[in-house]
């Protein structure tokens, strides 16, 4: 009996010895990269900012070199098509690409037209286009958006629409560049698991670049880590965590850090993995129980719980020293237009106060009203009703720091003593003669903050409120740590800090208090340790692993986990 030899399908992506330099760039963006993705694989692309992740994705969809130009060497094949000779148009049939900024990914006026466009360009008949649009909208749970104008959508909705437009042609390979950077934790989790479902059910190969690895590591089959344009690791998620522990701790997930600090192995790729390991017989033998019912503190540990509870109470009471109010908002109502004639209440009776020196995270789903609240405080949006008291001054840094930079020399943006003082405050006094375009993303953000703060300082002190709107978009862990330091510094100088963020781990790192907004109302307001450990979506990975009130960071968790082990 003879069997026909099945033809092996071409790899979804095959890259060999790829080296690339952007036009007029001094640094090589990709150095000898070789990667092969078989059909149906879910691969995660990890690495710090500027490590070459986005460039690799652009090369895989043909934008590099066809759109960006530059010098390229090596070979790229996408589903058997030579991507260096074929352009992005030819590759569109087999590749879908979703970039970081959803605003630059929509080219049509309505959602339906946007999703339909690739099919229309391909020449599909109207009936088949209508069916494909309907199906992809259902798969991504956006049929209710089809008739909406794209400029009335939130960032999260836009991201889904961009994904739908990338998937509607049923491509074999989908490339995503930090698709969750603008999404709240709920939408971010939903997107990752939706990708996993598409990967399993449709057989779509996925290559996903992401900084918040804790969100997607558990969904991935494989991790490719990049450092300075080269592939520094290529293997399974558990092996990646072991590698990151030695090679680059900024790439460790919070759960992995919790385990490594506690001396527990193997390192977990996700919450379920961590809870299983903790519930394993080895740990039970040492006196622990399953995380959902455990008392990790044990009898000796009650002192530890007491210490955390004391901290929580201290935040509730306010810090020991008396402080002034940086901002007080009472019964604030704001109405905004959603379309031509449609208006809706975005803020509905908000009451919130921030003290000088206090660090507060403002959280909530996309469209909950976080940015509108900050804009109202800064006087950019009029309120219908309510009172805003800001005894000092307010400095607001919006989501696009680049909007603050209009001149070609840092010193020209910030002249005089007030400018120098602001530059010194953010640690950029050395860059006074630089062109803002030549600064790194983090430095540009600091410069924009200095511009907002200039003239609002009182000597070394900084009275009033400093508000930041989604400051960690596209930031790697190292840059987030720098920002946490800067926020602490501003608070020490007396400023009240109000930071709107979707990043739960970042909030846990800097905030003393968290205000959670839901559909324009405050649904939770309390100490960070309490709010970020009391839920599922708006909770840190460590809180979800341990399920202990007040334990939100790997360090706190490790302190708790070490106790029963030491005691036994």
Q: Which residues, numbered 489-548, are part of the site for other proteins (CB under 8 A)?
A: none
Binds other proteins (CB under 8 A): choice among 20, 42, 97, 240:
97
Q: Which of residues 287-346 bind other proteins (CB under 8 A)?
A: 336-337, 339-340
Other CB atoms within 10 A of residue 249 CB: 13
Query: Which residues lie below 8 Å from residue 175, measured CB to CB, with a gap of 6+?
Result: 57, 60, 61, 95, 96, 97, 98, 207
Q: Tell me how far, at minimum, the Cβ of 318 lies from other proteins, in Å.
A: 28
Does 90 interact with other proteins (rule: CB under 8 A)?
yes
Q: Tell me how far, at minimum, the Cβ of 406 lies from other proteins, in Å.
A: 4
Does 105 interact with other proteins (rule: CB under 8 A)?
yes
Does 109 interact with other proteins (rule: CB under 8 A)?
yes
How long a stretch of residues is the chain?
Answer: 568
Residue placing its CB nearer to other proteins in the complex, 242 or 381: 381
Does 424 interact with other proteins (rule: CB under 8 A)?
no
Binds other proteins (CB under 8 A): choice among 21, 398, 445, 501:
398
Residue placing its CB nearer to other proteins in the complex, 23 or 320: 23
Residue placing its CB nearer to other proteins in the complex, 109 or 236: 109
Estimate the crossing angle of helix 477-492 against helix 441-453, to 10 degrees.
Answer: 20
Stretch that binds other proteins, among 14-22, 48-56, 104-112, 492-500 (CB under 8 A): 104-112
Number of residues that bind other proteins (CB under 8 A): 79
Strand partners, 337: 343
Does 88 interact with other proteins (rule: CB under 8 A)?
yes
Residue placing its CB nearer to other proteins in the complex, 66 or 355: 66
Residue placing its CB nearer to other proteins in the complex, 201 or 433: 433
Q: How far apart are CA 372 and CA 334, in angstroms?
A: 8
Binds other proteins (CB under 8 A): choice among 225, 271, 361, 414:
414
Lay out the site mask for other proteins across 446-485 (x = CB under 8 A, - = otherwise): ----xxxxxxx-----------------------------
Torsion of CA 57, 62, 68, 72, to 10 degrees: 90
Query: Which residues lie below 8 Å from residue 201, measured CB to CB, with a gap of 6+?
Result: none
Radius of gyration of the chain measured on its C-alpha atoms: 25
Residue placing its CB nearer to other proteins in the complex, 86 or 274: 86
Query: Which residues lie below 8 Å from residue 539, measured CB to CB, with a gap of 6+?
Result: 504, 532, 533, 552
Residue placing its CB nearer to other proteins in the complex, 55 or 260: 55
State both tokens at 380: 């950019």
Q: Tell me how far, at minimum, the Cβ of 462 lies from other proteins, in Å.
A: 11
Binds other proteins (CB under 8 A): choice among 51, 54, 110, 205:
110
Closest listed residue to residue 395, CA positions, set 374, 409, 411: 374
Strands 205-209 and 173-177: parallel
Q: Which of residues 362-381 bind other proteins (CB under 8 A)?
A: 375, 378-380
Q: How far apart are CA 515 and CA 523, in angstroms?
A: 8
CA 116 to chain centre: 28
**Which residue carries 């991507």 as its tokens?**
83
Residue placing its CB nearer to other proteins in the complex, 61 or 315: 61
Q: Tell me how far, at minimum, the Cβ of 110 lies from other proteins, in Å.
A: 5
> DSSP secondary-structure letter at 12?
S
Q: How far apart are CA 87 and CA 96, in angstroms?
A: 13
Q: How far apart are CA 205 and CA 226, in angstroms?
A: 19
Q: Tell me how far, at minimum, the Cβ of 364 lies from other proteins, in Å.
A: 20
Q: Which of residues 48-77 bind other proteins (CB under 8 A)?
A: 61-63, 66-67
Residue placing its CB nearer to other proteins in the complex, 15 or 95: 95
**Surface-to-core class of residue 15, CB atoms within 10 Å of its CB (0-12 exposed, 13-18 middle, 19+ buried):** buried
> DSSP secondary-structure letter at 10?
P
Residue placing its CB nearer to other proteins in the complex, 129 or 275: 129
Residue placing its CB nearer to other proteins in the complex, 102 or 185: 102
Does 415 interact with other proteins (rule: CB under 8 A)?
yes
Q: How far apart are CA 56 and CA 58, in angstroms?
A: 5
Residue placing its CB nearer to other proteins in the complex, 229 or 401: 401
**Which residue carries 């960006």 as its tokens?**
68
Q: Which of residues 116-175 bind other proteins (CB under 8 A)?
A: 116-126, 129, 146-147, 149, 151-152, 165
Q: How far apart are CA 62 and CA 334, in angstroms?
A: 45
State both tokens at 565: 């082990």
Q: Tell me how far, at minimum, the Cβ of 374 lies from other proteins, in Å.
A: 10
Does 92 interact with other proteins (rule: CB under 8 A)?
yes
Q: How far apart are CA 551 and CA 529, in angstroms?
A: 6
Q: Tell me how far, at minimum, the Cβ of 131 lies from other proteins, in Å.
A: 14
Does 235 interact with other proteins (rule: CB under 8 A)?
no
State both tokens at 328: 């007080």
Query: Could you tell me if 96 and 175 are in contact, meaning their C-beta atoms sit under 8 angstroms apart?
Result: yes
Stretch that binds other proteins, among 100-108, 221-229, 501-509, 549-557 (CB under 8 A): 100-108
Q: Tell me how far, at minimum, the Cβ of 395 lies from other proteins, in Å.
A: 6
Estimate the crossing angle of helix 155-167 against helix 126-139, to 10 degrees.
Answer: 130
Does 431 interact with other proteins (rule: CB under 8 A)?
no
Q: Tell me how far, at minimum, the Cβ of 69 lies from other proteins, in Å.
A: 12
Helices and strands of the chain, counted as H and E runs: 22, 19
Q: Tell me how far, at minimum, the Cβ of 466 lies from other proteins, in Å.
A: 11
């Amino acid at each position: 009996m003879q069997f026909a030899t099945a033809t092996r399908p071409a790899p979804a992506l095959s890259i060999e010895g790829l080296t690339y330099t952007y036009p007029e760039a001094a640094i090589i963006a990709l150095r000898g990269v070789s990667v092969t993705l078989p059909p149906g694989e879910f691969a995660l692309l990890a690495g710090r900012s500027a490590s070459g992740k986005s460039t690799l994705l652009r090369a895989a969809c043909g934008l590099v070199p066809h759109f960006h130009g530059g010098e390229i060497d090596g070979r790229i094949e996408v589903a058997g098509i030579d991507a260096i000779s074929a352009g992005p148009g030819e590759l569109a049939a087999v590749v879908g690409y979703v970039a970081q900024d959803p605003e630059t990914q929509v080219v049509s006026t309505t959602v339906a037209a946007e999703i339909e466009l690739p099919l229309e360009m391909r020449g599909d008949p109207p009936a088949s286009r209508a069916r494909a649009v309907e199906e992809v909208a259902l798969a991504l749970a956006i049929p209710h958006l089809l008739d909406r104008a794209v400029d009335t959508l939130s960032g999260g909705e836009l991201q889904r629409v961009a994904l739908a437009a990338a998937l509607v042609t049923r491509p074999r390979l989908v490339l995503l560049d930090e698709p969750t950077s603008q999404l709240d934790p709920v939408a971010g989790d939903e997107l990752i698991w939706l990708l996993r479902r598409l990967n399993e059910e449709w057989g779509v190969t996925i290559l996903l670049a992401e900084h918040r690895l804790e969100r997607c590591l558990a969904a991935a089959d494989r991790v490719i880590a990049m450092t300075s344009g080269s592939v520094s690791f290529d293997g399974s998620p558990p092996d990646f965590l072991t590698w990151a522990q030695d090679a680059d701790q900024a790439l460790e997930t919070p759960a992995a850090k919790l385990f490594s600090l506690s001396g527990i192995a193997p390192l977990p790729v996700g919450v379920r993995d961590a809870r299983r390991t903790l519930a394993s017989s080895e740990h039970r033998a040492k006196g622990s129980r399953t995380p959902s019912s455990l008392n990790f503190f044990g009898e000796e540990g009650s002192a530890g719980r007491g210490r955390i509870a004391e901290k929580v109470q201290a935040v509730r009471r306010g810090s020991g020293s008396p402080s002034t109010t940086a901002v007080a908002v009472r019964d604030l109502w704001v109405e905004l237009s959603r379309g031509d004639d449609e208006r809706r209440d975005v803020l509905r009776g908000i009451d919130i106060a921030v003290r000088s020196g206090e660090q507060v995270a403002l959280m909530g789903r996309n469209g909950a009203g976080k940015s509108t609240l900050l804009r109202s405080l800064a006087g950019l949006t009029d309120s219908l009703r309510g009172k805003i008291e800001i005894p000092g001054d307010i400095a607001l840094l919006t989501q696009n720091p680049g909007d603050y930079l209009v001149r070609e020399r840092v010193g020209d943006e910030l002249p005089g003593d007030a400018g120098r003082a602001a530059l010194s405050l953010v640690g950029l006094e050395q860059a006074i003669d630089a062109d803002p375009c030549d600064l790194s993303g983090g430095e540009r953000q600091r410069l924009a903050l200095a511009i907002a703060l200039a003239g609002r300082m009182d000597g070394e002190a900084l009275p009033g409120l400093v508000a930041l709107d989604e400051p960690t978009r596209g930031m790697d862990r190292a840059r987030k740590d720098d920002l946490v330091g800067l926020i602490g510094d501003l608070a020490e100088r007396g400023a009240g800090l109000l930071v709107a963020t979707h990043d739960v781990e970042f909030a846990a790192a800097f905030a003393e208090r968290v205000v959670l907004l839901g559909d324009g109302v405050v649904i939770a307001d309390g100490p960070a340790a309490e709010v970020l450990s009391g839920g599922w979506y708006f909770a840190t990975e460590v809180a979800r692993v341990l399920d202990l009130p007040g334990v939100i960071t790997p360090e706190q968790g490790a302190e708790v986990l070490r106790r029963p082990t030491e005691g036994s």
